[in-house]
């Protein structure tokens, strides 16, 4: 995860200064923000904005009974370079995702596109039918590919097991796209096949045979890194490391109602693993707000 360094009192765009105090337990943080290009004169003790940092920060130090203030005590100062600006993440609404399809999928001449769709039980829980949204978006993308010509595609679905549309990549002709639409209509949640370890089997099938994909799109919910039945972790990153030495782009589309909580999600071990999979496999991450 990329972490933005806190600003300092000098407003330096390059660095900030970190002060480390031994046995410090009590402190009070205040901030000042910038409005209309000017830093406000008031210091406030709260910050409720999720998409920006304050312009100035100050910390008032206190003491504890076990570590009373002394006349002198050591202060260690360390200058740290700012992290790169946080990576911009494209966010789409579910409606826009269904209407426009997957951004950029199959847009290049000669593209060999693989779609992997999660059809585990969790994809049809709650108020939103995530599986229907995923299938509609893939179908929209296939229709666009058929109009362009010179593209090939394959589709895999998974729960406890995996299934595929055909044994290999097929030409994105109108006839094949219609066959894919009919096949997708048969792919539904099956509670008898509770689990999602089929994702590992699907990834293995993608890289079998002579035809190689030029891009892979996983459309899933946040359960794809753990088996929903046993709760055991699924080593998706390890499978890709072993099977994808060419670093074919592996893109992740997450069907979750993350909304304003996206930053919180990405700060979890789940978010860290998504970022590792994306960066190690030249992919993109697109959250879909439900």
Looking at beta carbons, which pairs linking 51-57 to residues 24 or more positions away fall under 8 Å?
Answer: 53/4, 53/6, 53/7, 54/7, 55/7, 55/11, 55/31, 56/7, 56/9, 56/11, 56/31, 56/32, 57/6, 57/7, 57/8, 57/29, 57/30, 57/31
Q: What's the average model confidence in pLDDT over 11-32? A: 54
Determine whether 101 is exposed, middle or buried from the number of CB atoms within 10 Å of its CB (0-12, 13-18, 19+): buried
Residue 57: the pLDDT is 73
- The more confident residue out of 274 and 27 is 274
Q: Is 278 left (phi over 0), alpha (psi -120 to 50) or beta?
A: alpha
Instruction: Give the chain's domains with CATH numbers.
Output: 15-81 (no CATH), 92-289 (3.40.50.410)
pLDDT > 70? residue 79: no
Residue 153: the pLDDT is 96
Q: What's the average model confidence in pLDDT over 19-48? A: 66
Per-residue pLDDT tens for 276-288?
A: 999 999 999 999 8
Per-residue pLDDT tens for 189-231?
A: 888 888 899 999 999 999 986 678 999 999 998 888 987 777 7
Query: Within 10 Å of residue 5's Cβ, how many Cβ atoms?
Result: 14
pLDDT > 80? residue 252: yes
Residue 36 to residue 41: CA distance in whole angstroms: 13
248 contacts 216 by C-beta, under 8 angstroms = yes
Measured in residues, the chain has a length of 290
pLDDT > 60? residue 88: no
Query: Within 10 Å of residue 167's Cβ, how many Cβ atoms?
Result: 11
Residue 146: the pLDDT is 93
Span of 18-32, 168-182, 213-227 with lowest mean pLDDT = 18-32
Cα end-to-end span (Å), the chain: 24
Residue 8: the pLDDT is 41
Per-residue pLDDT tens for 106-150?
A: 999 899 999 999 999 888 877 789 999 999 999 999 999 999 878
Residue 80: the pLDDT is 43
Query: How sure is the predictor about 75, in pLDDT bands with cuts at 50, 70 and 90?
Result: very low
Query: Within 10 Å of residue 52's Cβ, how many Cβ atoms?
Result: 9
Residue 81: the pLDDT is 43
């Amino acid at each position: 995860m990329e972490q933005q360094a806190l600003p300092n009192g000098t407003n330096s765009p390059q660095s900030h200064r970190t002060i480390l105090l031994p046995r410090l337990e009590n402190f009070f943080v205040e901030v000042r923000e910038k409005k209309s290009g000017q830093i406000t004169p008031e210091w406030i003790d709260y910050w409720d904005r999720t998409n920006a940092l304050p312009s100035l920060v100050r910390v008032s130090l206190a003491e504890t009974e076990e570590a009373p203030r002394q006349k002198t005590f050591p202060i260690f100062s360390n200058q740290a370079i700012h992290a790169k600006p946080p990576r911009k993440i494209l966010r789409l609404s579910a409606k826009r995702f269904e209407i426009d399809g997957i951004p950029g999928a199959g847009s290049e001449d000669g593209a060999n596109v693989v779609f992997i769709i999660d059809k585990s039980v969790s994809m049809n829980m709650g108020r939103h039918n995530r599986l229907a949204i995923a299938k509609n978006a893939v179908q929209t993308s296939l229709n666009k590919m058929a109009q362009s010509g010179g593209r090939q595609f394959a589709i895999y679905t998974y729960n406890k097991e995996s299934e595929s549309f055909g044994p290999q990549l097929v030409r994105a002709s109108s006839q094949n796209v219609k066959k894919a639409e009919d096949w997708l209509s048969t792919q539904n949640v099956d509670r008898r096949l509770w689990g999602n370890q089929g994702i590992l089997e699907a990834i293995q099938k993608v890289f079998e045979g002579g035809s190689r994909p030029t891009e892979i799109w996983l459309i899933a919910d946040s359960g794809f890194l753990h088996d929903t039945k046993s709760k055991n972790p699924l080593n998706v990153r390890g499978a890709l490391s072993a099977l994808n030495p060419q670093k074919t782009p592996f893109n992740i589309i997450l069907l979750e109602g993350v909304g304003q909580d996206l930053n919180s999600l990405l700060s979890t071990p789940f978010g860290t693993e998504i970022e590792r999979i994306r960066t190690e496999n030249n992919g993109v991450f697109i959250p879909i707000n439900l």
